[in-house]
Amino acid sequence: METDNTKKFNELFSELEHYDEDKQRKKIGETNEIIDGMNEEEFRSIFRKRMFYKIDKMIEEKKMSIENAILLLKHAGCCIKLKNVWNPCFDLSSLGERFKKMIVEEEEKEKGKKNEKLLADLCECYLLFHFDFSSNLISICVSCLLNVASKKEKNEETQKEVEMALLALSHINTYSEIEQEIYLNEIKEIIQYHQVHRSLTCLGYQSAWQFFISRFYTNGFLKDTVANELHFAREAERELEELTRCLDWYRKEDGKEENEAKEVLVIGRWIQTLLIYFQCRQLPNEERVDLFSRIVQIYRAAKDNYEEISRWCIYPLRSASERGIVKIDDLLKGGAADAVLEGIQRPTLNEGVTYECLHFFKNVSYRLKGKEKSENDEIERKATKRKVFEKTEEEGYEDTITSIHEISGFLYRKYFDPEISLNISDYFVNI
pLDDT one-digit tens code per residue, 37-76:
998 899 989 998 899 999 999 999 999 999 999 999 999 9
pLDDT at position 255 is 45
Q: By CB neighbour count within 10 A (0-12 exposed, 13-18 middle, 19+ buried), where does 125 fall? A: buried
3-state secondary structure the chain: CCCHHHHHHHHHHHHHHHCCHHHHHHHHHHHHHHHHCCCHHHHHHHCCHHHHHHHHHHHHCCCCCHHHHHHHHHHHHHHHHHCCCCCCHHHHCHHHHHHHHHHHHHHCCCHHHCCHHHHHHHHHHHHHHCCCCCHHHHHHHHHHHHHHHCCCCCCHHHHHHHHHHHHHHCCCCCCCCCCHHHHHHHHHHHHHHHHHHCCCCHHHHHHHHHHHHHHHHCCHHHHHHHHHHCCHHHHHHHHHHHHHHCCCCCCCCCCCCCCCCHHHHHHHHHHHHHHHHHHHCCCCHHHHHHHHHHHHHHHHHHCCCCHHHHHHHHHHHHHHCCCCCCCHHHHHHCCHHHHHHHHHCCCCCCHHHHHHHHHHHHHHHHHHHCCCCCHHHHHHHHHHHHHHHHHHHHCCHHHHHHHHHHHHHHHHHHHCCCCCCCCHHHHCCCC
Cα 199 to Cα 51, 124, 160, 269: the distances in Å are 37, 21, 11, 20
What single letter denotes the amino acid at residue 188?
K
Pairs from 181-186 (Cβ < 8 Å, separation ≥ 24): 182/139, 182/142, 182/143, 182/146, 183/142, 183/146, 183/211, 183/215, 184/222, 184/225, 186/146, 186/149, 186/150
The per-residue b/e assignment along 330-356, b for 16 or more CB within 10 angstroms, e otherwise, is bbbbbbbbbbbbbbbeeeeebeebbbb
pLDDT at position 283 is 52
Q: By CB neighbour count within 10 A (0-12 exposed, 13-18 middle, 19+ buried), where does 292 fall? A: buried
Q: How far apart are CA 352 and CA 340, in angstroms?
A: 13
pLDDT at position 226 is 82
pLDDT at position 282 is 55
Q: 77 CB contacts (<8 Å, ≥6 apart)?
A: 124, 125, 128, 129, 168
* pTM given for the model: 0.90
pLDDT tens digit sequence for 388-430: 988 888 888 888 888 877 776 777 676 656 567 777 888 888 7
pLDDT at position 416 is 55
pLDDT at position 292 is 92
Q: How far apart are CA 27 and CA 13, in angstroms?
A: 8
Low-confidence ranges of the chain (pLDDT < 50): 254-259
pLDDT at position 253 is 52
Cα 208 to Cα 170, 288, 306: the distances in Å are 7, 21, 25
| Cα atoms in the Cβ-side hemisphere of radius 13 Å centred on 75 | 17
